[in-house]
């Protein structure tokens, strides 16, 4: 523009010759390719790659041109044959499994994860557990659909399993990669005794104040705290006060019915599996039921749900009269559990449509039953997907395809016996990742939860330290497509014209 000068660096860039730009672009491309190779295929042990001429007595080059001269003078490595996409995917998957099951740390870390546990007053911990134990048998203590409330609490009891393992004597703990120091624990109090909800909501508010008054919370504004929010109603009235913490969730629920925009996000939070409602079909069970799986596709559960779960009624209409398919309305109690377990163990595939939210507890029931899940939930986020590859144990079908006349049955019948046997074998191997236990076992859901959180630590520390020094209301340097979402997650990334009330 007239009357204005370009910055000198930009002026020099415009004056650069096309040849110089091409050379720079070529160098950047080489660097990117080299970086991609080392990230994808490097061995799990830490350490950098040695240069061809490096040795005990060699001096390192710190000048770019000198290093470049030496690099170009070195013998060129012979190029390996280009891998097809499928081969590359298989190679990466094999290495990841070796790291996971071969005993290596995942993600690789220089030291065990240290978890600091608040010594909260007993009214927030043991007293709530005793209240639940003493009241869950009451017949009046039912959910809106008549199911026993203790089953709903059990299904979402991930906070108990994590906490029970952390506070156990160190001699009894099996997870040696997680060290406890002296995470807050809140049972999902809203469901313990519905007749006392007002009292329990007050307990939640008191617990919230207790935690947010702690110096550790105030130092990070909760960014390095873990909060169990495993039911869509959990802490609904106080979520805005803990939105920067790491939430343990069953899914992300993109419908907006359960979480407000920006409250949940994969980079911040962790997806955890539901607690299965059926018994594990172990290797002996798998062998015994192999020849008895005569049902092609099985589903037993609520046939009509709200929000994203409306796909269920459409699937019922499409599949109810198909040969080899069983679709049943679920029932509560021991009889309902036995019927579901028996049906899954007699079936090759188990239908897993969305519920009120994208996730459904049926998925994890199917996995531990050795029944290949057929997932019809377009917005589903899965537990520990940074570690586990669900394509090895489940089929993913779009909602549009699933409701097309005859499409799903034809698709399932087209899957050959070899692939079915391989997926069944993988289900037996993967089932350990979804079985909560006390003490928590290596590679169980508690272990994978901490491994996922360990992978977030560097980013958490970045935002804590940045928030401690950044000038409030300064111009944002966080360039993102959705500033409201990022502001919600990391309020140090302030964006002009975004007000706090806009994201609560």
In tens digits, the chain (504 residues) has pLDDT values of: 444 443 444 344 444 444 433 333 333 333 333 333 333 323 333 333 344 444 444 566 667 678 778 777 888 766 556 556 667 777 777 877 777 777 554 554 446 888 888 888 888 878 877 777 777 666 555 555 555 656 667 777 888 888 888 878 888 888 877 776 544 444 333 334 444 456 667 888 888 898 899 888 888 899 999 988 887 777 777 888 888 999 999 888 756 677 887 788 899 999 999 999 999 999 999 999 999 999 999 999 888 766 556 788 889 889 988 999 999 988 877 888 899 999 999 999 999 998 778 888 899 999 999 999 999 998 899 999 999 999 999 999 999 999 999 999 999 999 999 999 999 999 999 999 999 988 889 999 999 999 999 999 889 889 888 888 877 766 655 544 444 444 444 445 543 333 333 332
User: Which backbone phi and psi does 425 adopt, to 5 degrees?
Assistant: -65, -40
Q: Using CA atoms, how far apart are residues 497 and 486, in angstroms rounded to an integer?
A: 14
- Contacts (Cβ under 8 Å, ≥6 apart) of 247: 227, 228, 229, 263, 264, 268, 269, 270
- Contacts (Cβ under 8 Å, ≥6 apart) of 390: 382, 396
Strands (E), 308-440: 325-329, 347-353, 372-376, 395-396
Query: Where do the domains of the chain lie, and which CATH numbers do they carry?
Result: 113-271 (no CATH), 283-435 (3.40.50.2000), 474-504 (no CATH)
Which tokens in the block code for residue 382? 């899965």
Q: Using CA atoms, how far apart are residues 21 and 13, in angstroms rounded to an integer?
A: 9
The reported pLDDT for the residue numbered 231 is: 77
pLDDT tens, 272-298?
Answer: 999 999 999 999 999 999 999 999 999
The reported pLDDT for the residue numbered 352 is: 94
**Contact call for residues 311 and 403 (beta carbons, < 8 A):** yes
> Residues 247-269, buried b or exposed e (16+ Cβ, 10 A)?
bbbbbbbbbeebbeebbbbeebb
The reported pLDDT for the residue numbered 448 is: 94
Other C-beta atoms closer than 10 Å to the C-beta of 17 total: 8
pTM of the shown model: 0.74
- Contacts (Cβ under 8 Å, ≥6 apart) of 326: 295, 297, 298, 299, 300, 343, 347
The reported pLDDT for the residue numbered 158 is: 82
The reported pLDDT for the residue numbered 170 is: 82
6-12 long-range contacts, CB within 8 A, separation 24+: none
**Contact call for residues 338 and 346 (beta carbons, < 8 A):** no
The reported pLDDT for the residue numbered 449 is: 93
**Contact call for residues 161 and 438 (beta carbons, < 8 A):** yes
436 Cα distance to chain centroid: 16
CA nearest to 269, candidates 158, 398, 124: 158
Q: How far is CA 230 from CA 130, 137, 186, 270, in A?
A: 21, 23, 11, 10
The reported pLDDT for the residue numbered 178 is: 79
- Per DSSP, 299 falls in state E
Judge if the upstream peptide bond of residue 439 is cis by omega within 30 degrees of 0: yes
The reported pLDDT for the residue numbered 38 is: 31
User: Which backbone phi and psi does 70 adopt, to 5 degrees?
Assistant: -65, -40
User: Which backbone phi and psi does 66 adopt, to 5 degrees?
Assistant: -65, -40
Parallel, antiparallel or unpaired: strands 113-116 and 178-181: parallel
């Amino acid at each position: 523009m007239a009357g204005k000068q370009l910055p000198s660096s930009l002026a020099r860039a415009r004056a650069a010759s096309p040849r110089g730009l091409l050379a720079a672009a070529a160098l950047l491309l080489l660097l990117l390719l080299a970086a991609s190779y080392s990230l994808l295929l490097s061995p799990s042990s830490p350490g950098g790659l040695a240069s061809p001429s490096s040795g005990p007595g060699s001096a390192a080059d710190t000048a770019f041109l000198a290093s470049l001269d030496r690099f170009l003078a070195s013998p060129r490595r012979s190029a390996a044959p280009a891998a097809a996409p499928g081969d590359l995917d298989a190679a990466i998957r094999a290495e990841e499994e070796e790291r996971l099951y071969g005993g290596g740390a995942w993600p690789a870390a220089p030291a065990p994860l240290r978890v600091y546990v608040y010594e909260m007053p007993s009214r927030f911990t043991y007293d709530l557990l005793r209240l639940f134990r003493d009241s869950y048998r009451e017949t009046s203590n039912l959910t809106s659909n008549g199911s026993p409330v203790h089953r709903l609490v059990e299904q979402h009891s991930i906070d108990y399993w994590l906490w029970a393992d952390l506070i156990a004597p160190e001699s009894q703990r099996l997870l040696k990669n997680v060290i406890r120091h002296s995470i807050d624990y809140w049972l999902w109090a809203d469901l313990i005794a519905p007749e006392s909800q007002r009292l329990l909501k007050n307990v939640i508010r008191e617990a919230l104040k207790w935690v947010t008054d702690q110096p550790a919370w105030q130092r990070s504004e909760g960014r390095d705290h873990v909060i169990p929010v495993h039911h869509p109603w959990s802490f609904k009235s106080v979520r805005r006060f803990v939105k920067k913490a790491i939430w343990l969730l069953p899914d992300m629920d993109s419908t907006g019915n359960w979480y407000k925009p920006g409250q949940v996000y994969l980079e911040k939070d962790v997806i955890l599996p539901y607690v299965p409602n059926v018994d594990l079909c172990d290797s002996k069970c798998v062998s015994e039921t192999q020849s008895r799986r005569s049902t092609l596709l099985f589903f037993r559960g609520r046939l009509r749900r709200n929000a994203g779960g409306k796909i269920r009624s459409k699937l019922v209409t499409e599949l109810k009269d198909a040969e080899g398919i069983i679709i049943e309305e679920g029932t509560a109690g021991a009889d309902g559990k036995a019927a579901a377990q028996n049906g899954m163990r007699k079936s090759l595939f188990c239908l897993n449509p969305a519920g009120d939210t994208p996730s459904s507890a049926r998925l994890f029931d199917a996995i531990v039953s050795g029944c290949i899940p057929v997932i019809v939930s377009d917005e589903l986020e899965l537990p520990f997907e940074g570690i586990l590859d669900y394509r090895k144990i489940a089929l993913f079908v779009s909602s549009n395809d699933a409701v097309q006349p005859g499409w799903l049955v034809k698709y399932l019948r087209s899957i050959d016996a070899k692939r079915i046997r391989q997926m069944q074998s993988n289900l037996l191997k993967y089932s350990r990742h979804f079985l909560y236990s006390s003490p928590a076992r290596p590679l169980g859901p508690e272990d994978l939860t901490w491994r996922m959180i360990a992978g977030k630590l560097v980013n958490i520390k970045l935002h804590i330290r940045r928030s401690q020094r950044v000038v409030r209301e300064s111009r944002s340097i966080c360039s993102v497509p959705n500033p409201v979402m990022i502001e919600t997650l990391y309020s140090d990334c302030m964006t002009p014209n975004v007000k706090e009330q806009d994201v609560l």
